[in-house]
Amino acid sequence: MDAFAQASDLSVDGKLYDTDKNLINAHGAGMLYHDGIYYLFGEIKKGTTWRVANQSWEDYRVPAGGISCYSSKDLKNWRYEGVALAPVKGDPKSDIDTGKVIERPKVIYNTKTKQFVMWMHIDAKDYSYSQSGVAVSKTPAGPYHYIKSVKPNGQMSRDMTLFKDDDGKAYLIYSSEQNNTMQVCLLSDDYLHPTKTYSRILINRRREAPALFKNNGKYYLITSDCTGWSANAATYAIADKVLGPYKEYGNPCKGLRANTTFESQSTYVLPLKEKNTYLFMADHWNKTDLEKSDYLWLPLKVENGKVEIINDAKK
């Protein structure tokens, strides 16, 4: 029997608690399913939010708190596994110094090297550095060892996700070119380096917060508009090949507040055991007090090639 009866049982709209009754602190999260256990990884947001001066946009920040990990067998009861990737204090030259940006961690397992590989967005507080960072661990929950950050093929990379295909090949998907265009880049067999194989997708569409999944041989990419911490309407795009081209469709959200993705921004789409059913994972950002940001998890269905994220909430 499945660990959970229905996808809707997994819905979350607000705070999430771990089995010690502490608030789950895992934003811009990703999920790894390994040996019957789900591992949730996310940004640790803790401390006072401040606004970076002399920015033309609302650059609200908290110190980069590193990456947390939680585990669960049923996607409902979450055990705190500790800090998967700790930030460094007082070393402004380090990519993972608390003064930097460490966002949107995603983890996949490499069966050849038997390593868990984490990719994440690494940036300066004004987002001018625009790189993808990589860390590894021999165990799923970590601690992860940070290796380095890169600009894939010399290209900027900000909001990102990671996708491991059925054939074991893995791809980095990121907002590039000043957030105007996304790119998909094939990773090396050990998942530690971008290769020269990459494509430009959603050209000049200014999309971010990518979440990629595969259904019935096709690739589905959910993204948000580019409005910082403020919510906007999601859209989805479909491709026959992971590298694209992607054809854009409309907003997959249905119901009240669908035009702001129910006041949230996409971060991950997790396949569930039930056919054509997924868990859409998103962040409710609280931009002036980022530590108070919480979560939106909703069932996502693919029917006749159409994506629907349904929120039955009445208010």
- Residue in 310, 243, 315, 236 with CA at minimum distance from that of residue 8: 310
Question: What single-letter amino acid sits at 109?
Answer: Y
Residue with smaller CB distance to ligand GAL, 81 or 103: 103
> What minimum distance in Å lies between the beta carbon of 202 and ligand GAL?
15
| 193-222 residues near ligand GAL, rule: CB under 6 A | 208-209
What mask of x and - would describe binding to ligand GAL in positions 218 to 247, judged by CB under 6 A?
----------xx------------------
Our measurement of the distance from residue 311's CA atom to the centroid of its chain's CA atoms, rounded to an integer in Å, reads 20
| Closest distance to ligand GAL from the beta carbon of 104 (Å) | 6
Smallest distance from the beta carbon of 222 to ligand GAL, in angstroms?
Answer: 13
The residues, any chain, with a CB within 8 Å of residue 167's CB and separated by 6 or more, are none
Q: How far is the CB of 174 from ligand GAL (least distance, A)?
A: 11
Nearer to ligand GAL, 51 or 247 (CB): 51
Nearest-CB residue to ligand GAL? Answer: 228
The token pair at 186 is 């094939």
Judged by CB under 6 A, does residue 103 bind ligand GAL? yes
Among 45, 40, 152, 158, residue whose Cα is nearest residue 107: 40
> What is the gyration radius of the CA atoms in the chain, in angstroms?
18
Give the Cα separation of 58 and 242 in Å (integer). 33
Which 129-168 positions form the footprint of ligand GAL (CB under 6 A)? 159
Write out the two tokens for 219: 């690739």
How many residues bind ligand GAL (CB under 6 A)? The answer is 10
- DSSP state letter for 152: G
Does 99 interact with ligand GAL (rule: CB under 6 A)?
no
Whole-angstrom distance, CA of residue 136 vs CA of residue 214: 25
The residues binding ligand GAL (CB under 6 A) are 28, 59, 103-104, 159, 208-209, 228-229, 265
